[in-house]
Structures are given as C-alpha cells and as structure tokens.
C-alpha cells in the first residue's frame, strides 16, 4: 500500500475500543489515506458474524457512566456499521490475522462479511505503512 497508509492493529475486543478504532478508520479514509485494519485475538473474536452485535463490554476504566455512554453510542451507530461506511469513504481493507484464527479456531466463514481476507503477520508487515497503531 501507499506511503501514507494508516495501519491499525486491533487486539482488544471491547465495544468502546472497537468504536474508537472505527472512528479512526473513518477519519483516515476521509483524509484520503488508505487504511489497513488487522484483527488479532479478542478484536478478531468480536468480528465473528454471530457475535458482532453482542455486548462486548467496555474497558475497566469505563465505570458505570462510561459503560452507559458506550451503549447509547452503539445504539446510534454500531462500530461494525462505521467500518462498513468507512469502505464507502475510502480505501479501507480489513483482514484477519491467520495466527489468531488458528488460536481461536475460527474459520473464514465464521467472520462478518466486512472482513476482506486472512493475512499472516508477515503479509501484514509488508502492507503496513510506516508504523502501525495498536489498539
């Protein structure tokens, strides 16, 4: 991908972090930067088609008020919709980490259609821009 590619590695699978990641992806796409999202571990698990809309909880720091705010945010626009919408805005690709798939016994068919493919870590580094953001 191009030099100004925005590479985002998603590890955490809580709704607040996934929403934050989705907004970052939208923003980068809006600025014309190709976006490369790489799903690992619990983020990958959250992208299972049958689990996407389930409650993934929030980070411990959220507290009761924070958790409520996040749930309200989800009801307005769910993070999965933001990722889908980001693809209309710009060049956004979302790939599942092959090693995480193996660890969690997930197959490609289990994943939400917004996921474009499966990459090994090596492939990710080839496609990543100058550094990546880890959430």
Partner 1 sequence: MPAQVVVLGGGVGGTLVANLLDKSLGRDVHVTVVDSTGMHHYQPGYLYVALGEAKGHWLTREERTLLRNHVDLAIEEAVRIHPDAGTVQLRRGGSLPWDYLVIATGARLVPDLIPGLAEGSFEFYSLPGAERLAQALRGFDGGSIKIGIAGIPYKCPPAPVEFTMMVDGYLRRRGLRDRSEVELLSPLNRAFTIESASKLIQPIMDQRGIGLTTFFNVESVDPSAHIVESLEGEKQEYDLLVLVPPHEGAEVIKASDMGDVSGWLPTDRTTLQVAGCERVFALGDATDLPISKSGSTAHFEAPVIASRIASLVNGTAPKTNYGGRVMCFLETGDGKATSLRFDYEHPPIPPQPNRAWHVAKWLFNRLYWETVPHGRLPERAPFTTPKEVAS
Cβ contacts of 82 within 8 Å, gap of 6 or more: 19, 22, 23, 25, 26
Q: How far is the CB of 24 from partner 1 (least distance, A)?
A: 10
Q: What residues does 133 pair with on adjacent strands?
A: 8
Q: 3-state class of 9 per DSSP?
A: strand
* CA angle (29 as vertex; 24, 32 as ends), nearest 5: 135
Q: How far is the CB of 86 from partner 1 (least distance, A)?
A: 6
> 69 or 82: whose CB is closer to partner 1?
82
State the residues that interact with partner 1 by CB under 8 A. Answer: 4, 23, 26-27, 29-34, 76-77, 81-82, 85-86, 88-91
> 17 or 33: whose CB is closer to partner 1?
33
User: How many whole angstroms from its chain centre is CA 80?
Assistant: 8
> 80 or 101: whose CB is closer to partner 1?
80
């Amino acid at each position: 991908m191009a030099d100004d590619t925005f590479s985002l590695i998603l590890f955490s699978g809580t709704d607040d972090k996934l929403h934050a990641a989705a907004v970052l992806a939208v923003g980068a796409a809006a600025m014309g930067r190709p976006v490369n999202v790489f799903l690992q571990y619990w983020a990958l698990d959250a992208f299972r088609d049958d689990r996407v809309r389930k409650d993934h909880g929030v980070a411990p720091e959220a507290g009761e008020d924070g958790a409520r705010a996040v749930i309200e945010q989800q009801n307005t626009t769910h993070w999965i919709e933001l990722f889908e919408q980001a693809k209309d805005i710009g060049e956004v690709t979302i790939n599942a980490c092959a090693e995480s798939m193996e660890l969690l016994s997930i197959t490609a068919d289990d994943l939400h259609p917004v996921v474009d493919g499966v990459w090994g870590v090596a492939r990710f580094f080839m496609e990543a821009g100058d550094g990546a953001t880890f959430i």
